[in-house]
Structure 1
Amino acid sequence: MSDIQETRNRVEIGELGRRLQRAHGEVWLHQVKGDPYADVLRGHAEDPHPGYERIRALGPLWRSSMGAWVTADHDLAGTLLGEAWPHGPVTGEDAHVPADDAGLGGDAAHYERLRALVETTLSPSAATAVCERVVHGLARSFNLVTDLAERVPVDLLAETFGLSAPHHWELTASCAAAGVVLDGLLCPQRLDVTRRAVTAVGRLRALLTPPDGHPAADTRELALLLATAGVRTAARLVASAVLAVVDHPEEWSRVADAPEHAALVVTEALRYDPPVQLHPMVARADVEFAGQRVPAGERVVVLVGAANRDPEVFADPDRFVTGRPAGVLVPALYHRVTLPFARAQAEAVIRALVAAGRRPHRSGPHLRSRRSPVTRHLLSCPLATG
């Protein structure tokens, strides 16, 4: 590396560090001043729902002192997550991580193309086979996160895109490092974490080459999006669904009697503990919602985790109950690609786990990552059978 390039890199790293430090300081300051949205963004609470309820009490659409419009209202959230108003993703310097490079900067038409491509690129039978293989290889004591939830989506991607063993290891490490992109859209990460994410996204772009017979550009973008955002989303949904049948024996029994019941377990997991708790968007034109004028360029954030527990819509919203009649809200844009990817694996894992006949139980406390208000990322959750 030349001296000029090394100097340029040091300047860029220094500027990134200052920007992250400034953003983190702003979140902390607004939280100290009592802004409940800033409190949620810090990602320190084990249970974010008390913070969600503080925001709900402020009205259907409330403007945080941080400048974002926030809603916990189910009906308004459903409108905002639809396509009937001009909005786009958080990109560029508005994000604290490389959102554009990680595949999160496209428009609705782009993600609709990728969603269609998922159906032809990722085989349901391959997903089932991967899930069954990983489940059958579990020891009597295992870590739900590292041994199952995070392993399944990485193994599926490696198999789909034909990666050899050395490249499989690199994929695992890169997906883990790049997984902060969803949380980094709203919550500034540490400098070292952000730098690793930038490097990992670059490695993933180089590593994931399209298989024969697919349009190279779209398939590469699909692979990148699934590796950066899809793996973290799938891991969270798999973990949430597994804990549902671990903590609720009646759900385990229902899946044992009727494997198709796994779909209802996953649907309720998407409501009760969704893998994407907050979904940010940017208004592309002046709009008005709930009597509030939202100028073009301002950020709008749907608290998905709160909207899916809206007591005006869901009876006894803090209980896990399968078969609820009301619709579950899910984010759009890039999540129209990552959530079907995640859901297929979560259902297959539940079926495989129940078919194996060994219902696990919690064998220790779980550990959750801080600064992860969007995904509430699990670091560890020990389970045991027998």
Structure 2
Amino acid sequence: MKNLTDSELGGMMQLVRGTQWYVGMFGDPYALVLRAQTDDPHPLYEQARAQGPLHQNALGSWVCTGYELAAQILADPRFDTRTADGGTAAQHVLALDDAFLGLDRTAHDRLRERTAPLLGAEAIERHRAVAERVAGDLLDGLGDGFDLAADFATPLAVGVLAELLAVPAADRPGFAEHCTALGNALDAEVCPQQLVPARALITALERLRGQFAGRPDGGLLGEVAATGGDLAAEDALATAMLLAATGVQTTSSLVCNAALALLADPARRDAVRAEPGLLPRVIDETLRSDPPVHLCALVAREDVEIAGQHLAAGSQLVVLLAAANRDPEVFADPERFDPHRTEAAPLHGGAHHELVAPLAKLQAEVALRLLLDRLPGLRQDGPIVRRRRAPVSRAIARVPVTAA
């Protein structure tokens, strides 16, 4: 992609955007999801659900909306991010290989096993002190009014990652700029971005890859590389790139969405402040009701018979995670935010999110605890502004809050 001229890149994205737009004109729910023109896509998810738990849309993609089937597909090795011959999954607008988003299950399993002692759920507590320090420093520098996303959640995710990757102080402004540019990485794979942010994304990936490859001994990079093996250095680079390309936005969205869920209900906020042990439940319910990743694109590696449908090898399959997590056959009153739910665990956004999820959840817990303790009167102070063309992340660009 980086070798394409602006004219070539822009023309390619306009062609895909035009196709999505045209199909959406006839009311296709998934095409309208990809248009990303609405702040609330859940009515579109319900329209897709009405067409069956697994159906083929006018763009040729198979669309899954049911929880049980989605869980089955996500665990099925016949579906992967790449075809058997190494082709990419969805007909990606931007194939971001520099971000390692297209790693197949085998590579992800190896990476997850290698990083488990560093980033796995059982090891993640080692990073709590870093998250607390970064979050505390950020709050120290904020006044009564600030932007929850731009001034706190995103800088928290960037700051923690910079610490863990041992990014030199002189390089941190550029690192933060590149991580911010990567915020639309997951969206850009399926939804054409405007030319300037698309080019910024490609450039950021190239520069971060060069930065990480140039110092393989720093922080987590060095620890992953030290695990040994033929692919240790490559896995260290993949870990850093995945954390930057998906971990920052995932963390920022999770912090914002969970905080807003608490601010929307003062009684719930006060209950959680009085019983901080509820925070993990709040985070899990946020992952169900308003997840950081709304859909996951896969491909059939072979001919598959599933849910009464035949999917030929190479068929494109999209799991609408946000729809599955509100499946009324699994979740009672699925539109209601309820941290005390005892139903099934929320589905997450595919293999690479298993790598970033424990760190994102840790940072969200730390952030919420500090916000509740230090800013008990915090409230939303203006409308939420979401980033344009973000059907995967529904990322919040701005959300003013005040503690006054």
Identity within the alignment, %: 38
From 357, 360, 364, the equivalent of 1:339 is 357
Instruction: State the TM-score, normalized to the length of structure 1.
Output: 0.92
Which whole-Å deviations, capped at 9, do the CAs of 1:108-134 have from their partners, x for residues lacking one?
232234334164266233223323332
Unpaired segments ≥5 residues, structure 2: 226-232
Alignment match, 2:201: 197
CA distance in 2, matches of 1:279, 1:128: 31
**Displacement, 1:332?**
2.3
Letter aligned with residue 128 of structure 2: P
From 296, 304, 313, the equivalent of 1:287 is 304
CA distance in 1, matches of 2:368, 2:252: 13
Comparing 91-100 with 280-289, greater Cα deviation is found at: 91-100
Letter aligned with residue 325 of structure 1: T
Q: 1:341 to 1:96 in 2, by over 3 A?
A: farther
Which whole-Å deviations, capped at 9, do the CAs of 1:3-39 have from their partners, x for residues lacking one?
xxxxx98864332222111101100000012211101
From 49, 55, 59, the equivalent of 1:62 is 55
Which whole-Å deviations, capped at 9, do the CAs of 1:35-72 have from their partners, x for residues lacking one?
11101110011110110111000011110110110011
Query: For residues 49-198 of structure 1, what are the structure 2 equivalents within 5 Å?
Result: 49-89=42-82, 91=88, 94-116=91-113, 117=115, 119-120=117-118, 123-198=127-202
Q: 1:108 to 1:93 in 2, by over 3 A?
A: closer
Alignment match, 2:230: none
What is the SS of the residue equivalent to 1:46? Answer: coil
Alignment match, 1:26: 19
Letter aligned with residue 50 of structure 1: P
CA distance in 2, matches of 1:27, 1:330: 25
Instruction: State the TM-score, normalized to the length of structure 2.
Output: 0.89
Q: Contact 2:33–2:391 (CA<8 Å) still a contact in 1?
A: yes
Q: Contact 1:246–1:359 (CA<8 Å) still a contact in 2?
A: no
What is the SS of the residue equivalent to 2:318? Answer: strand
Q: Contact 1:112–1:336 (CA<8 Å) still a contact in 2?
A: no
Which whole-Å deviations, capped at 9, do the CAs of 1:254-308 have from their partners, x for residues lacking one?
3222222110000000011000011111111111221111111111111111111
CA distance in 1, matches of 2:283, 2:90: 35
CA distance in 2, matches of 1:119, 1:358: 36
Which whole-Å deviations, capped at 9, do the CAs of 1:193-227 have from their partners, x for residues lacking one?
21111101011112233324441332221111111
Query: For residues 291-370 of structure 1, what are the structure 2 equivalents within 5 Å?
Result: 291-327=308-344, 328-370=346-388
Q: Contact 2:73–2:79 (CA<8 Å) still a contact in 1?
A: no
Q: Contact 1:178–1:228 (CA<8 Å) still a contact in 2?
A: yes
Alignment match, 2:267: 250
What is the SS of the residue equivalent to 1:334? Answer: helix
